[in-house]
A and B are shown apart, each in its own frame.
Chain A
Amino acid sequence: MNETELVCIICPASCTLKVSTVGGEVKVEGASCSRGVEYARREAVNPVRHVMTVVKVKNGDLPTVSVITSRPVPKKCVSEVMKSTAELEVEAPVELGQVILDNVCGASLVATRRVKRLV
């Protein structure tokens, strides 16, 4: 049996949720609404997160571009996504929505800022 405690972030009530997994079954205690139960299940079975960071830009009006994962990635993959940005550098200009890095942990890194090219 695997038991964890989490704080619900669905609403300001911030219920403390006890989640236990017995076999394949997930049990949630402490939630005061069904949305909380659903949240706890997601967190227990496959917690996912968006990763947002910056990537270096060459010849831009700013030295970085902000990026976000195109979809949330499994929580355990967050550091892998970050590592992939360590040596990454793109050439300006960068447009909104431009894919900066494809296929990292099942997602891609997408630009969320415009960077103009400096001549």
Chain B
Amino acid sequence: MKIVVIGAGIVGVSIARVLSMYDGLDVTVIEKQADVGWGASKANTSIIHPGHEENPREHPLRSKLCVEGNRMWRTWVKELDIPARWPGELMVFTSSEEEREARRYVELAKLNGVTGVRVVYDRELRNLEPWVNPAATGAVYAPTAGTISPFEAVIAIAENAVENGVKLLTETEARRIIVKGGVVEGVETNRGFVEADVVVNAAGIHADEVSHSAGVEEEFRIRPRKGEYLIYDEDASVKPARILHTVPTPLTKGVYALTTVHGNLLVGPTAEDLPYEAKEDVSTTDKGLKLLSREASKLLKELPPKSKVVRTFAGLRPEPPKGQWLIRAYTDPWGFLNVAGIRSPGFTAAPAIASYVVQLIAETYDIQLRRREKWNPYRVGPTRVNGVGLDAVDSIIRKNPDYGEILCYCRMVSKAEVLEAVERMKTIGVKPTLDGVKFRVYAGLGKCQGSFCRWRVAAVLSQATGVPLYKVAVGAEPYAFGDVKVLLKGDPSASEGV
């Protein structure tokens, strides 16, 4: 049985991982980008939601999978060595109107079976969160909220899936689902035809287009919703202990402030609905960034100075009509599934979505699932110099001197780590790029944002892959234009890179 999953975002790779648990399934994930997780999975708030913000009357499946997902992540992060913390969340209110609104979530928590959600005031609030704004009168505390490194999660799951036999094809764009006689035959891609008995559409923001090409859900359209974020330097002193959240209003979904697993204060998101065609617009705006500072200062006692902002970014979340996830298996065409419009809390729910989808495949297409005996649930994360004791650093250097060659000063990342990332990328079939390495080893995510280390990492990639320095890819584009004399030679074709 050949199964093709379209999209190597958090949903796609999670489905692939769960599929890899079973015998007799030949699973391929196709991804149009050069790496896994470069869509909505990379640029989000990095929260594992408790599930107390989902209304089970409006979104029963979403509510159920969110709560289940929160539970499953606790196992997954351990099995897969994904950086995660479970600090709990405080929905902070400053007025009686806000309190009334916030209290609704205590009720929703009960309906969803999310335990421990309660209102805290004054001293307890300040004990839970010393950084909370003194104007806060109380908060709804949800102790099961967590935060995770979202891009590392996708990478870890993809690595584990590949380890268990899943094939990953990057830079492979699904153009059309091929259906013959009402039955799915495969996917037409920019790299040719990929045969499949079952196709799972997990194409994120482009899932509507994929669905249309299979001839189903022609009314279904995904709207890009932009979320902008601010990240502060790890040396900024403001580090909230909990995940802080403003009370959602009819106008805003609320802004979060939290300390990421990497130790940075993260503020976001905004929520701006873009036109349907703006599926590539990940630019930040002056207006959005100002709104974030304003909202964050409502949550926090103080905000670090502007000069401590090390990065701003925006992500596009797939917003389906009425916020309804579209998870459905079709009998016409036989073998096609939509896992589409997976907006928030999609990241949280991903493991549960994966289990649900795999069951759905089995039931709809009458497949007997047999657990493989040899399935390996574990993946070990990369070795890092930063954050371990000096003795441990000394002993890894003695095994491999490349750990003693620090390339990124801000995040203290060694050459060995970059080389390991390159090997890991090759192992899962990903072309080594500067962005890919950055998100695996954190080189360039610190204060200088790569002005000291990007060329050094590029030089290591150039050597490891045999590509000239200027041609090493950043994301989809080469790092630089060409040889220094290329324009003087008056022959622009001599620079192949651009």
Chain A residues engaging chain B, CB cutoff 8 angstroms: 54, 56, 64, 82-83, 85-87
B488 touches A56 (CB 8 A): no
Contacts of A86 in B (CB 8 A): 485, 488-490
Residues 333-381 (chain B) with a chain A CB within 8 angstroms: none
Contacts of B488 in A (CB 8 A): 82-83, 85-86
Cα of A64 to Cα of B470 in the assembled complex, Å: 14
B484 contacts chain A at the CB level, 8 A cutoff? yes
Residues 449-498 (chain B) with a chain A CB within 8 angstroms: 483-485, 488-490
A54 touches B484 (CB 8 A): yes
Chain B residues engaging chain A, CB cutoff 8 angstroms: 483-485, 488-490
B489 touches A64 (CB 8 A): no
A-B contact count (CB 8 A): 15
Cα of A107 to Cα of B138 in the assembled complex, Å: 77
Q: Could you tell me the distance in whole angstroms from the C-beta of B494 to the nearest C-beta in chain A?
A: 11
Cα of A54 to Cα of B483 in the assembled complex, Å: 11
Q: Could you tell me the distance in whole angstroms from the C-beta of A86 to the nearest C-beta in chain B?
A: 4
Pairs across A and B, CB under 8 Å, 15 listed: A54-B484, A56-B483, A56-B484, A56-B485, A64-B484, A82-B488, A83-B488, A85-B485, A85-B488, A86-B485, A86-B488, A86-B489, A86-B490, A87-B485, A87-B489
- New A-B contacts (11) at CB < 8 Å, excluding given A54-B484, A64-B484, A83-B488: A56-B483, A56-B484, A56-B485, A82-B488, A85-B485, A85-B488, A86-B485, A86-B489, A86-B490, A87-B485, A87-B489
Cα of A87 to Cα of B488 in the assembled complex, Å: 9
Contacts of B490 in A (CB 8 A): 86
**A55 (CB) vs chain B CBs: closest residue:** B485
Cα of A86 to Cα of B488 in the assembled complex, Å: 6
Cα of A83 to Cα of B485 in the assembled complex, Å: 9
Q: Could you tell me the distance in whole angstroms from the C-beta of B492 to the nearest C-beta in chain A?
A: 13
Cα of A83 to Cα of B488 in the assembled complex, Å: 6
Contacts of A64 in B (CB 8 A): 484
**B486 (CB) vs chain A CBs: closest residue:** A86
Contacts of B489 in A (CB 8 A): 86-87
**A87 (CB) vs chain B CBs: closest residue:** B489
Q: Which of A54, A56, A85, A86 has the most CB of B within 10 A?
A: A86
Cα of A65 to Cα of B118 in the assembled complex, Å: 68
Cα of A68 to Cα of B480 in the assembled complex, Å: 25
Contacts of B485 in A (CB 8 A): 56, 85-87
Cα of A82 to Cα of B484 in the assembled complex, Å: 12
Contacts of B484 in A (CB 8 A): 54, 56, 64
Q: Could you tell me the distance in whole angstroms from the C-beta of A90 to the nearest C-beta in chain B?
A: 13
Cα of A87 to Cα of B484 in the assembled complex, Å: 11
Contacts of B483 in A (CB 8 A): 56
- Across chains A and B, which 3 residue pairs bring their CB atoms closest together, nearest first? A86-B488, A86-B489, A86-B485
Cα of A91 to Cα of B489 in the assembled complex, Å: 20
Cα of A87 to Cα of B483 in the assembled complex, Å: 11
**A89 (CB) vs chain B CBs: closest residue:** B485
Cα of A86 to Cα of B487 in the assembled complex, Å: 8
Cα of A64 to Cα of B489 in the assembled complex, Å: 16
**B469 (CB) vs chain A CBs: closest residue:** A63
Cα of A64 to Cα of B490 in the assembled complex, Å: 20
Q: Could you tell me the distance in whole angstroms from the C-beta of A18 to the nearest C-beta in chain B?
A: 35
Cα of A32 to Cα of B489 in the assembled complex, Å: 44
Contacts of A82 in B (CB 8 A): 488
**A84 (CB) vs chain B CBs: closest residue:** B488
Cα of A18 to Cα of B488 in the assembled complex, Å: 34
Cα of A10 to Cα of B394 in the assembled complex, Å: 54
Contacts of A54 in B (CB 8 A): 484
Contacts of A85 in B (CB 8 A): 485, 488
Q: Could you tell me the distance in whole angstroms from the C-beta of B204 to the nearest C-beta in chain A?
A: 41
Cα of A85 to Cα of B484 in the assembled complex, Å: 11
Q: Could you tell me the distance in whole angstroms from the C-beta of A104 to the nearest C-beta in chain B?
A: 14
